[in-house]
Amino acid sequence: MSQMMELDLEDAPEVVSVLLPIPAERPYSYSVPEGIQLAPGDFVQVPLGPRKVAAVVWDEPETAGKPVDPKKLRPIEQKFDCPPLALETRKFVDWVAHYTVSSAGMVLRSVLRAPGALDPEIPLDGLRYIGGTPERLTDARRRILEVVSEQEGLAWTKSGLAHAAGTSSSVIDGLVKQDLFEKVLIPAPPVVALPDVDVESVALNPEQSQAADILVQTVRQQKFEAVLLDGVTGSGKTEVYFEAIAEALKQNKQVLILLPEIALTSSFLKRFEERFGAPPAQWHSEIAPKMRERIWRQVATGQVRVVAGARSALFLPFQDLGLIVVDEEHDTAYKQEDRVFYNARDMAVVRASLGNMTCILSSATPSIESRVNGEAGRYKHVKMTNRHGDAVLPDLTTIDMRKDPPARGKFLSPVLMQAMTESLSRGEQALLFLNRRGYAPLTLCRVCGFRFECNNCSAWLVEHRFRNQLQCHHCGHNEQVPEACPNCGTLDHLVACGPGVERLAEEVDEAFPDARIVLLSSDVLGGVARLRLELDAIAKGEADIIIGTQLVAKGHNFPLMTCVGVVDADLGLANGDPRAAERTFQLLSQVTGRAGRAGGKSVGLLQTYSPDHPVISAIASGDREAFYDREIALRKSSGLPPFARLVALIISGTDKREVEAHAKALKLSAPKVDGVMILGPAEAPMALVRGRFRYRLLVHTQKTFDVQAYLRGWIAQGPKERGSLRVQIDVDPQSFL
């Protein structure tokens, strides 16, 4: 009897835990078929119900729950021929899941974003010249032999060789028939060439050298450190962190550069290529699927050394990452508010600490969080206060719209128009910034007062006059602009209220009939490719007046830009968002920072109805330190982040009463703990989005409180999601809408 038991055990298959990219809290157990060797990190294919899914062998030991009979487990189907996911990336997935109170499986989804990449790249069919001469030596054949003899032993693709020799590929077929070539396989080429650290770099000025030295020293230590590179626009932060990248590459490490609007940063890629002889691999949503797979694979094999990407690049399967740079670290584009809510800036710091490396956070207008960390010594704080070379920061002034109002029905003050005229007369450029897409933010009926609103969202429909449409910017709903009011039926009495960039363009066109005007917003037809062309054209001086939304605020270098006008400086300050002051300061500093980057005098003008507002006057006086001091003190005294922690719970569903009831029940079920304050439920400012009603709860705790454990316990015992009801958890919310 006892002998039989033993035999049984020996026959029992090995069991591994496997994390699947699904919303499950824990890895699942699978049995391992004979002949397959598995270790944590291996990519495998497993059955899940009727499906087969790609997943990763996880570190978790024996199932923590009740033991399962291995023979009842379903077997792993296949181990992929792919380098395993590094331990630090696995730890990172678990860490992000813990911090954001999501399931590890949902975080793993961000890793498994290129399914085809798990198999090796297919080599290309190639030809190699063996030797000999053909029967008939035509001109075309001679050219081919010349080309292949130049680099003996090299394998060619047929089309590559035909191109190099300037012949058709049928000529090559003829030579193959005569056995002058052998067929070989050529490994798939790298997506980008290797970077070269010895390409000549610019000579740094003394302030830059000092900053670069600190960064290089930090990278050299190969241990965790976060550095805040805090330098005014044009101080040369990019040149400085390039030195840190060079150091990491010298150590044979991989490098990740996060950029907020990667799709628009062609100038960044160009600069990188000038410095390192090859561009970085790019990772963002506009990359075609096949290319994504190749990049993912080559990051995993270590062939790709440098990736420049959007926030999702954090989850690429790096083998040996040695440095992360987060450019424009304050940017809200780093916050993902969908499925897993995370801030890529914060997670980059975590990723660096798990992998013992440096994380550089670069910005001209750092987030309050990073400034506080810098001042408290948790981050190294490297400041750069001067623009490089002859470039000086623009003279900033406010235009008091009560004293210098625009003409009736117009939006530009005569003072701003005068400044634009002066810049244009010198052959320079002017930029008008207005963060409002479309023609007008609101359309109403002059007779009955009817306002056009979206049926699915609590939002006005925005008129896009060039397309003759009313559009919702939240769900994308659009409709033709009607001739009659849908409420009272009166014809031709709809009016546009307030300005959007399209309306501004109309005004500028009338006022400056000879100027070449370019309108830049995300509505530009032709997408990113078109925007890149426009931005290049502007940089080359092929436009006089640029009108744009916040797209133009980000990192672009326009050498001829000497006048920047902010059409409505008060716009971002009106809402009750606790970050409104910070956001406005950052955005307006970035926008006005577009001026005067190539030397000479330049101006930034802020149209405002409240010139004495502390944020507006801080920007106008150019005293950024005063702004930070004041804002940090305010956050501290009012117990707001980063001096306390906030977590938002967003309860949504298709039935308003059900949503409200669920939100109330959730609040009631919250464990009472000292120091935990729960505000709400309140109807969200965006009370309806895409047909879903929304309520919000806001949890306020001390910084040191284990809010994740608290939330997990609460959700586990609280009312369950059912039907259309969903509860989303947003730790460290950026948006309160």
Catalog residues that contact ligand ADP under the rule CB under 6 A: 202-205, 208, 231, 233-239, 388, 557
Partner from ligand ADP, Zn ion, none contacting 250, C-beta within 5 to 8 A by type: none
CA 13/CA 31 separation, integer angstroms: 6
Which regions of 82-214 does DSSP assign to beta strands (E)?
A: 124-129, 155-156, 181-186
User: Which of Zn ion, ligand ADP, none does residue 5 bind to, with CB < 5 to 8 Å depending on kind?
Assistant: none
Q: Least distance (Å) from ligand ADP to the CB of residue 239?
A: 4
Nearer Cβ to ligand ADP, position 365 or 413?
365
* Binder of Zn ion out of 249, 262, 457, 538 (CB under 5 A): 457
Residue 549: which of ligand ADP, Zn ion, none does it interact with, CB under 5 to 8 A by kind? none
Find which of ligand ADP, Zn ion, none residue 680 binds, CB within 5 to 8 Å per kind. Answer: none
Name the binder of 202 from ligand ADP, Zn ion, none, CB < 5-8 A by kind.
Answer: ligand ADP
Beta bridge partners of 308: 257, 282
Size of the site for Zn ion (CB under 5 A): 7
CA distances from 360 to 187, 237, 263, 281 (A): 35, 11, 21, 19
Query: Residue 434 and residue 414: Cα distance in Å, rounded?
Result: 17
Sheet strands (E) in 284-372: 306-309, 321-327, 335-338, 340-343, 358-363
Look up residue 344 and give its two tokens.
């890529």
Pick the closer one to ligand ADP by CB: 590 or 652: 590
* Choices 342-350, 475-483, 579-587, 641-649 (CB under 5 A): range interacting with Zn ion: 475-483
Q: Is the backbone of residue 627 left (phi > 0), alpha (psi -120 to 50) or beta?
A: alpha
Residue 610 interacts with Zn ion (CB under 5 A): yes or no? no
The token pair at 601 is: 């005098």
Pick what 734 binds: Zn ion, ligand ADP, none; C-beta below 5 to 8 Å, kind-dependent: none
Cβ atoms of 718 and 651 within 8 Å: the answer is no
Burial 211-243 (b: 16+ CB within 10 A, else e): bbebbbebbeebebbbbbbbbbbbbbbbbbbbb
User: Is 441 or 611 the residue whose CB approaches Zn ion more closely?
Assistant: 441
Instruction: Work out how close the CB of 716 gets to Zn ion at its nearest, in angstroms, rounded to a whole number.
Output: 34
291 contributes a contact to Zn ion by CB under 5 A: no
DSSP category for residue 159: H
454 interacts with Zn ion by CB under 5 A? yes
The item of Zn ion, ligand ADP, none sharing an interface with residue 478, based on CB under 5 to 8 Å by kind, is none
What, of ligand ADP, Zn ion, none, does residue 454 touch, CB below 5 to 8 Å by kind?
Zn ion
- Residues 646-675: x where in contact with Zn ion by CB under 5 A, - otherwise, as a string: ------------------------------
Task: From the list ligand ADP, Zn ion, none, pick the one residue 239 interacts with, judged by a Cβ distance below 5 to 8 Å according to partner type.
Answer: ligand ADP
Q: Which is nearer to Zn ion, 278 or 686 (CB)?
A: 686
Question: Is the Cβ–Cβ distance between 471 and 478 less than 8 Å?
Answer: yes
Distances (CA, A) of 315 to 95, 113, 311: 12, 9, 8
* Least CB distance to ligand ADP at residue 645 (A): 31
Binding partner selected for residue 279 from Zn ion, ligand ADP, none, CB under the kind-specific 5 to 8 Å limit: none
Instruction: Residue 238: name its binding partner from ligand ADP, Zn ion, none (Cβ under 5 to 8 Å by kind).
Output: ligand ADP
State the DSSP code for 639.
T
**Which residue lies nearer to ligand ADP by CB, 431 or 459?**
431
Q: Between 205 and 312, name the residue whose CB sits nearer to ligand ADP.
A: 205
**204 vs 648, which CB is nearer to ligand ADP?**
204
The angle at the Cα of 372, spanning 331 to 706, to the nearest 5 degrees, equals 90
CA distances for 488 relative to 445, 452, 463, 485, 627, angstroms: 9, 13, 20, 6, 50
- The listed partner (Zn ion, ligand ADP, none) that binds 231, CB under 5 to 8 Å by sort, is ligand ADP
Answer with the entry of ligand ADP, Zn ion, none that 523 interacts with (C-beta below 5 to 8 A by kind): none
Q: How many CA atoms lie within 13 A of 586 on its CB side?
A: 22
Residue 475 in contact with Zn ion, rule: CB under 5 A: yes
Q: Which does 664 bind (CB under 5 to 8 A by kind): ligand ADP, Zn ion, none?
A: none
Minimum distance from residue 231 beta carbon to ligand ADP (Å): 5
Stretch that binds Zn ion, among 370-378, 382-390, 420-428, 455-463 (CB under 5 A): 455-463
**Sole binder of Zn ion in the list 201, 319, 456, 458 (CB under 5 A):** 456
Judge whether 324 and 307 are in contact, CB under 8 Å.
Answer: no
Sheet architecture: strand order including 469-471 = 462-464, 469-471, 478-480
Q: Which stretch binds Zn ion (CB under 5 A): 151-159, 395-403, 451-459, 620-628?
A: 451-459
Residue closer to Zn ion (CB basis): 364 or 459: 459
* For ligand ADP, the closer CB: 233 or 652: 233
685 vs 9, 276, 580, 674, CA distance in Å?
A: 61, 47, 15, 29
The smaller minimum CB distance to ligand ADP, of residues 237 and 694, is found at: 237
Q: Are 725 and 653 in contact (CB under 8 A)?
A: yes
Closest separation between CB of residue 470 and ligand ADP, Å? 39
Contacts of 249 (CB under 8 A, 6+ apart): 195, 197, 255, 276, 305, 306
- Residue 383 lies near Zn ion (rule: CB under 5 A): no
Nearest distance in Å: CB 241, ligand ADP: 9
Token readout for 189 is 């080429």
CB of 689 to Zn ion, least distance (A): 7
428 phi and psi angles, rounded to 5 deg? -105, 180
Among residues 472, 545, 581, 650, which is the contact residue for Zn ion, using CB under 5 A?
472
As measured in angstroms, the least distance from the Cβ of 366 to ligand ADP is 12
Which is closer to ligand ADP, CB of 231 or CB of 653?
A: 231
Q: Using CB distances below 5 to 8 A depending on partner kind, what does residue 477 bind out of ligand ADP, Zn ion, none? A: Zn ion
- Rounded-to-integer distance, Cα 441 and Cα 571, Å: 12
Of the pair 275, 700, the CB lying nearest ligand ADP is at 275
CA–CA gap between residue 173 and residue 162 (Å, rounded): 10
The residue with tokens 């699915």 is 456
Report if residue 470 touches Zn ion, rule: CB under 5 A: no
User: Is the CB of 443 or the CB of 562 nearer to Zn ion?
Assistant: 443
User: Could you give the C-alpha distances from 434 to 51, 352, 437, 504, 591, in angstroms and in order?
Assistant: 49, 37, 8, 9, 10
Cα–Cα distance list, 587 to 170, 238, 400, 590, 619 (Å): 59, 19, 20, 5, 10
Least CB distance to Zn ion at residue 474 (A): 5
Select 374 or 653, whichever has its Cβ closest to ligand ADP: 374
What one-character-per-residue DSSP string does 470-514 give?
Answer: EE-TTT--EEEPPSB-TTT--BT-EEEES--HHHHHHHHHHH-TT
- Min separation Cβ 214 and ligand ADP, Å: 16
Interaction mask 402-441, Zn ion, x per CB under 5 A: ----------------------------------------
Query: Per the structure block, which two tokens stand in for 101?
Result: 């109170």
Q: Which residues fall within 8 angstroms of residue 312, CB to CB, at 6 or more apart?
A: 110, 113, 283, 284, 285
Closest CB to ligand ADP among residues 108, 561: 561
Dihedral sign, CA of 303, 306, 310, 314?
Answer: positive
Decide: 653 and 693 in contact? Cβ < 8 Å: yes
Nearer to ligand ADP, 107 or 591 (CB): 591
Q: Give the strand pairing for 478-480 and 494-497.
A: unpaired
For Zn ion, the closer CB: 474 or 667: 474
477 binds Zn ion (CB under 5 A): yes
Task: By CB under 5 A, name the binding residues for Zn ion.
Answer: 454, 456-457, 472, 474-475, 477
